[in-house]
C-alpha cells in the first residue's frame, strides 16, 4: 500500500471564513457603488436583461386586471345607459306636455284676442268626442246645464263661429256645427255689406249661400261674418270664406260655396256665449199681444155649420 493516499474530499476554507470573506467583499462593493457609482454600468446591463423577463411575468396579472376593469366598466355603462334612457323618456314626456301647454296657451290667447268683447264672460269647454253618427257634423263638449248652458246658445273658437248648442245635458252638451245640413247662420259680406243666410251643406265640410241673385256683389275670397240680426250670434264673428261663385244666367240665383274658418278637428277648446253676453244685442221687439193678433189675422175664419 502506498504511503501517499489522495483524500477523496478536498478540504478548503471553513464555512465561517468564506462567510466573512464574502461579507467583506459585499460591503466593499456597496461602499464603492454608493460612493463612486462603480456598478452603474453593471446595474444598467442587468436591468436590460431582466426587464423583458419582468414584463413577461407581469403579463398574466395585467390581463386579469384589464378583464376585471372591462367587466366592471361594462356593468357601469349598462347601468348608466339604463338611467339615461329613463331620463330621456321622462324628459320626452315633459317636453311633450310642455308643447301641449304652450299650444293650449297660444290657443287661449287667440280665443281671447279674437273675441275681446267676451273676454270676461262665457263658458270655455273642451271637445271630448265627436257624434256617434259619422254622417252628422256634431261634437260633444264637457259642459252642460249645471254650468248654466241651455239649447240655442252660440259656440265659437279662436277663429270664428263653430256652431250652436242643440242638446244640453247635465254635464255634457251637443254642438251642431255650421256645416251640418240645414244649420243656418245670418251672415254679411265684409267687402260689400251684402246680407245673406249661410246654410250647412252637410257634405265635405262646406257651407252654401243660397238665394243670392246672380247680379249680387259677391265674389271669391269674400269674408263672411255674422250679421247679428237673429239675436243668437253676435255681429262681427268670422263664419266662412267664399270659395266659389257660379253665376249661371239660366238660373235666378247664383250657386255659392264657402269654407268655414273654424275647424273643430284642429281645436280642443271652444267658448259658449251665454245669455249674459247676448242680452245687449238687439232682438225683434214684438209684444205677445201683437204676435197673437198676427196669428188671428193670418188664421182663416172657420165657417159655422148649421
pLDDT of 146 above 60: yes
Q: What is the pLDDT of residue 222?
A: 93
Q: Band of the pLDDT at 210, cuts 50, 70, 90? A: very high
CB within 8 A of 152, min separation 6: which ones? 164, 165, 232
pLDDT of 306 above 50: no
Q: What is the mean pLDDT of the chain?
A: 78
* Residue entry with cell 243656418: 184
Q: Which of 62-71, 202-211, 249-258, 281-290 has the highest mean pLDDT?
A: 249-258
Q: What is the pLDDT of residue 114?
A: 47
pTM of the model: 0.55
Which range (34-38, 72-76, 197-201, 246-250) has the least confidence? Answer: 34-38
Q: What is the pLDDT of residue 26?
A: 86
Q: Band of the pLDDT at 100, cuts 50, 70, 90? A: low
pLDDT of 201 above 90: no
Average pLDDT rounded to a whole number, residues 30-39: 77
Q: What is the pLDDT of residue 288?
A: 47
Average pLDDT rounded to a whole number, residues 76-91: 83
Which range (89-98, 130-139, 149-158) has the least confidence? Answer: 89-98
> Are residues 269 and 125 in contact, defined by beta-carbon separation less than 8 angstroms?
yes
Average pLDDT rounded to a whole number, residues 118-123: 64
Sorted by where each starts, the structural domains of the chain and their CATH numbers stand as: 16-89 (no CATH), 123-278 (2.40.10.340)
List the grid coordinates of 85: 334612457
Q: Band of the pLDDT at 305, cuts 50, 70, 90? A: very low
pLDDT of 186 above 90: yes
Q: What is the pLDDT of residue 107?
A: 60
Q: Band of the pLDDT at 71, cuts 50, 70, 90? A: confident
Q: What is the pLDDT of residue 6?
A: 56
Average pLDDT rounded to a whole number, residues 93-116: 64
CB within 8 A of 141, min separation 6: which ones? 125, 126, 127, 128, 155, 172, 173, 175, 270, 272
Q: What is the pLDDT of residue 301?
A: 45
Angle, vertex CA 81, rays to CA 75 and CA 83, nearest 5: 105
Instruction: Select from 44, 17, 47, 19 the least CA-distant residue to 33.
Output: 44
The CA distance from 50 to 41, in Å, is 14
Q: Band of the pLDDT at 279, cuts 50, 70, 90? A: low
The CA distance from 87 to 102, in Å, is 22
Amino acid at each position: 500500500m502506498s504511503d501517499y493516499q489522495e483524500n477523496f474530499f478536498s478540504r478548503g476554507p471553513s464555512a465561517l471564513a468564506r462567510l466573512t470573506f464574502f461579507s467583506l467583499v459585499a460591503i466593499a462593493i456597496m461602499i464603492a457603488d454608493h460612493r463612486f457609482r462603480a456598478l452603474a454600468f453593471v446595474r444598467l446591463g442587468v436591468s436590460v436583461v431582466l426587464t423583458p423577463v419582468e414584463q413577461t411575468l407581469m403579463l398574466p396579472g395585467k390581463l386579469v386586471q384589464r378583464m376585471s376593469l372591462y367587466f366592471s366598466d361594462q356593468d357601469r355603462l349598462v347601468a348608466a345607459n339604463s338611467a339615461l334612457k329613463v331620463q330621456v323618456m321622462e324628459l320626452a314626456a315633459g317636453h311633450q306636455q310642455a308643447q301641449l301647454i304652450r299650444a293650449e296657451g297660444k290657443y287661449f290667447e287667440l280665443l281671447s284676442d279674437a273675441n275681446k268683447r267676451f273676454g270676461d264672460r262665457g263658458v270655455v269647454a273642451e271637445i271630448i268626442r265627436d257624434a256617434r253618427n259619422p254622417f252628422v257634423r256634431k261634437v260633444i263638449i264637457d259642459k252642460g246645464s249645471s254650468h248654466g248652458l241651455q239649447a240655442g246658445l252660440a259656440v265659437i273658437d279662436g277663429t270664428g263661429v263653430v256652431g250652436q248648442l242643440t242638446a244640453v245635458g247635465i254635464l255634457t252638451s251637443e254642438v251642431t256645427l255650421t256645416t251640418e245640413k240645414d244649420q243656418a247662420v245670418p251672415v254679411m259680406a265684409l267687402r260689400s255689406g251684402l246680407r245673406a243666410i249661410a246654410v250647412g251643406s252637410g257634405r265635405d265640410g262646406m257651407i252654401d249661400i243660397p238665394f243670392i241673385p246672380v247680379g249680387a256683389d259677391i265674389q271669391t275670397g269674400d269674408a263672411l261674418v255674422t250679421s247679428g240680426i237673429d239675436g243668437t250670434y253676435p255681429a262681427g264673428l268670422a263664419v266662412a270664406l267664399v270659395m266659389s261663385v257660379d253665376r249661371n244666367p239660366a238660373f235666378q240665383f247664383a250657386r255659392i260655396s264657402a269654407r268655414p274658418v273654424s275647424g273643430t278637428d284642429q281645436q280642443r277648446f271652444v267658448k259658449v256665449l251665454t245669455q249674459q253676453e247676448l242680452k245687449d244685442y238687439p232682438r225683434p221687439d214684438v209684444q205677445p199681444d201683437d204676435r197673437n193678433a198676427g196669428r188671428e189675422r193670418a188664421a182663416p175664419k172657420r165657417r159655422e155649420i148649421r
